[in-house]
Amino acid sequence: MSQIEGGDVSTREVLDRYVAALGGTLKLIADLGDEQLKVS
């Protein structure tokens, strides 16, 4: 969490660990206008 608090959110892995520490799951979705794709 210290990376997030320090402003370092340069990678998906950092966000994934942060959200997991809060008890959640990170979902990445590409919004293509009329279509949304789950990226990971």
Report DSSP state, residue 35.
Answer: -
Q: What's the confidence (pLDDT) of residue 10? A: 72
Longest dimension (CA), the chain: 37
* Residue 17 φ/ψ, nearest 5 degrees: -65, -40
**Domain locations in the chain as residue ranges:** 2-38
Encode pLDDT of 1-40 as tens digits. Answer: 566 666 666 788 888 888 999 999 999 899 999 999 998 7
The answer to whether the beta carbons of residues 40 and 29 sit under 8 Å apart is no
Token pair 């959110």 is found at 9
Residues in Cβ contact with 12 at an 8 Å cutoff, skipping those fewer than 6 apart: 26, 28, 40
